[in-house]
Amino acid sequence: MAESAFAADLARDDRYIRTKVEPLLGHELGLAQRADLDLYLSELRSWGARLDLVAPRDAGEFLDLALWDAAVLAREESLRGEHGDHLVDVGSGGGAPGIPLGIFLSSLRGRQRLTLVEPRAKRVTFLRTVTARVSSVEIEVFKGRSEELPSKGFDVALARATLPPAAWLQEGSRLATKAVWVLLAKGEAPAGDSWTTTADVDYEWPLVGHRRRAVRYASG
């Protein structure tokens, strides 16, 4: 029964990546990226229930939650960011969107640098266990809170539901030199002050239909 469930998960993951993610990105993922995604999704399922990493209602919501925000950000960031940008994902929890984002971007513009910020010890253990085996992205896991990090230590900052949007934009603009992504499930995008909006994307998770919005603010 366990082997049958594992095979069903792999088939579902493969179908989602081939029919949803790759068309959005505009190309097929490489073997290294696919292996890293398979590893990440498998470990997220295995650890998820024990550590409350994710709380999806069904298999479709699990995949949307794990991958779709990251795929949208990767497509947009590949058009505006640069090779060698150092990304930081604050309040990473189960590793999304940061880990899939790094994997997707590595297929679009080469190996990425990514820092995952998470204060909770058990989640840090999960993140370090997974990222030690990811080959396509250079990942550091920082145990702590974002305010412990130095100002302007990263190129691009992102977070999902870690702080209210306006507070996150303020903190993200402290951390990043180039851009901050604000992810919204509802409500208005915060004012950027000296940061200008360079992308504003309305979209929905393809399997469960939740409406989302991603706004990219750039410095200068």
Q: Are 30 and 107 in contact (CB under 8 A)?
A: yes
Domains assigned to the chain: 2-218 (3.40.50.150)
Q: Are 114 and 74 in contact (CB under 8 A)?
A: no
Quick: pLDDT tens for 150-196.
999 999 999 998 899 999 999 999 999 999 999 999 888 999 888 99
Residues β-bridged to residue 217: 180, 197
Q: What is the percentage of the chain residues whose pLDDT exceeds 70?
A: 97
Give 111: exposed, middle or buried? Use CB within 10 Å, 0-12, 13-18, 19+. middle
Q: What's the pLDDT score for residue 151? A: 98
Cα–Cα distances in angstroms (integers) from residue 9 to residues 12, 18, 39, 42, 46, in the given order: 5, 14, 12, 8, 12
Quick: pLDDT tens for 116-138.
999 999 999 999 999 999 999 99
pLDDT band (50, 70, 90) for residue 2: low
